[in-house]
């Protein structure tokens, strides 16, 4: 697969990118690009952030702008190597003003030079009877990244982590274009990769009382049959449900991280959910830290209702160890 080495200088909207290698636009006959984020210096951990459902917009009642901005600012202070967003970056994909809100509110990420890699969510298509105009808005926001005409792609986070960003609104069943690409990525992983991170909007494993949407369960079925055969550990992060959940199924860690600012949705946290949080509203992001053979993750929570006390807490933490 051709490697496109690109370091974005701002998040999704990035009007000007800093290219660190060849970045010719991908032709339709080629495969989706792979972007690359350099790892830290020797002895330093690799830190990156994953979360979703930010819903950048000026509309009221569909998102908590205070929480959204607080999370963005806190992430900037973390100085992560990258931010991966699991969809619903904006509230209405047909509205260029929502993308402008995104650009305005993430100015701190631009200043810090933090690259951002988003997956498509259902709100990226909101307001478009025909998906083409909404996709154009999304691709333009990614400009000059050579992603068009693709809706899924991959990112190397240093030498040890491969991230696959999927499109939950495109077919994932066996034989589909996306599924064929997905399986090929897993079969041809470089020997230096120790962890595979899968980011998509609809979470394959979630509270069963919340109905599944499209074909995201196909990802869980495939991993249940094949994850044990891989040399890498697999972590899957979905969003869509505006809360936080954590599961472990067939050797794979599944996370729901939809607390980026969208209107909260309750979660029962039963049926094998492992975080056992007692809070019903959980604006948050996930901080991942890779040190040697250990990938640790922390749920960083913002309490929008806190007034006199510190609104920040870290109520859930877990580790994934590389295979021997």
pLDDT for 203-245, tens place per residue? 999 988 777 667 899 999 999 999 999 999 999 999 999 999 9
Instruction: Give the separation between CA 12 and CA 10, rounded to whole angstroms.
Output: 7
**Facing residues of 18 across strands?**
7
- CA angle in degrees (0–180, nearest 5) for 172-215-102: 90
Query: Per the domain annotation, does 272 fall within a domain?
Result: yes
Of the candidates 118, 129, 184, the residue with the CA atom closest to the CA atom of residue 151? 118
Query: Per the domain annotation, does 140 fall within a domain?
Result: yes
Structural domains of the chain, count = 1
Better pLDDT: 6 or 121: 121
Segment 69-93 mean pLDDT: 97
Query: Per the domain annotation, does 123 fall within a domain?
Result: yes
pLDDT for 260-293, tens place per residue? 999 999 888 888 999 989 999 999 999 999 999 9
Range of the domain at 85: 6-321
In the sheet that holds 244-249, the strands lie side by side as: 34-37, 153-157, 161-165, 195-199, 233-238, 252-257, 244-249
pLDDT, mean over the chain: 89
Instruction: Give the separation between CA 26 and CA 4, rounded to whole angstroms.
Output: 9
Per-residue pLDDT band at 15 (split at 50, 70, 90): very low
Per-residue pLDDT band at 146 (split at 50, 70, 90): confident
pLDDT over 90 at 5, yes or no: no
Query: Per the domain annotation, does 1 fall within a domain?
Result: no
DSSP 181: H
pLDDT for 23-48, tens place per residue? 333 344 489 999 999 988 888 999 99
Instruction: Give the separation between CA 255 and CA 249, rounded to whole angstroms.
Output: 11
Query: Per the domain annotation, does 163 fall within a domain?
Result: yes
Task: Give the global pTM.
Answer: 0.90
Segment 314-322 mean pLDDT: 98
What pLDDT shows up at residue 285? 98
Check which CATH number belongs to the domain holding 204 and give it. 3.60.21.10
- CA angle in degrees (0–180, nearest 5) for 77-103-126: 120
Any idea how long the chain is?
Answer: 324
Residue corresponding to tokens 């729901």: 256
Query: Per the domain annotation, does 274 fall within a domain?
Result: yes
**Facing residues of 157 across strands?**
37, 161
pLDDT for 90-126, tens place per residue? 999 999 999 999 999 999 999 999 999 999 999 999 9
The helix/strand/coil state of 301 is strand
Query: Per the domain annotation, does 248 fall within a domain?
Result: yes
Query: Per the domain annotation, does 196 fall within a domain?
Result: yes
């Amino acid at each position: 697969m051709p490697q496109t080495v690109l370091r974005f200088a701002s998040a999704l909207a990035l009007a000007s990118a800093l290219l660190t290698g060849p970045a010719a636009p991908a032709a339709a006959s080629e495969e989706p690009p792979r972007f690359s984020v350099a790892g830290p210096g020797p002895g330093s951990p690799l830190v990156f952030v994953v979360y979703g459902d930010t819903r950048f917009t000026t509309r009221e009642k569909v998102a908590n702008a205070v929480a959204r901005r607080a999370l963005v600012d806190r992430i900037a202070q973390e100085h992560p190597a990258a931010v991966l967003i699991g969809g619903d970056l904006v509230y209405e994909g047909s509205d260029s003003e929502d993308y402008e809100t995104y650009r305005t509110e993430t100015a701190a990420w631009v200043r810090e030079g933090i690259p951002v890699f988003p997956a498509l969510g259902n709100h990226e298509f909101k307001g478009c009877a025909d998906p083409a105009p909404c996709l154009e808005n999304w691709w333009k926001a990614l400009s000059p990244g050579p992603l068009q005409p693709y809706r899924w792609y991959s990112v190397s986070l240093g030498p040890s982590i491969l991230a696959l960003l999927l499109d939950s609104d495109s077919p994932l069943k066996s034989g589909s274009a996306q599924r064929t690409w997905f399986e090929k990525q897993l079969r041809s992983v470089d020997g230096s990769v120790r962890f595979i991170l899968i980011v998509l909007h609809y979470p394959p494993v979630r509270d069963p009382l919340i109905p599944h949407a499209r074909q995201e369960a196909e990802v869980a079925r495939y991993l249940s049959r094949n994850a044990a055969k891989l040399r890498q550990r697999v972590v899957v992060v979905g969003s869509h449900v505006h809360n936080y959940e954590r599961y472990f199924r067939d050797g794979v860690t599944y996370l729901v991280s939809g607390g980026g600012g969208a209107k909260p949705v309750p979660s029962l946290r039963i049926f094998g959910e492992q975080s056992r949080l007692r809070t019903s509203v959980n604006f948050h992001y996930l901080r991942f830290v890779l040190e040697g053979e250990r990938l640790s993750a922390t749920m960083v929570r913002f309490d929008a209702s806190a007034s006199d006390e510190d609104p920040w807490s870290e109520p859930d933490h877990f580790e994934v160890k590389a295979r021997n």
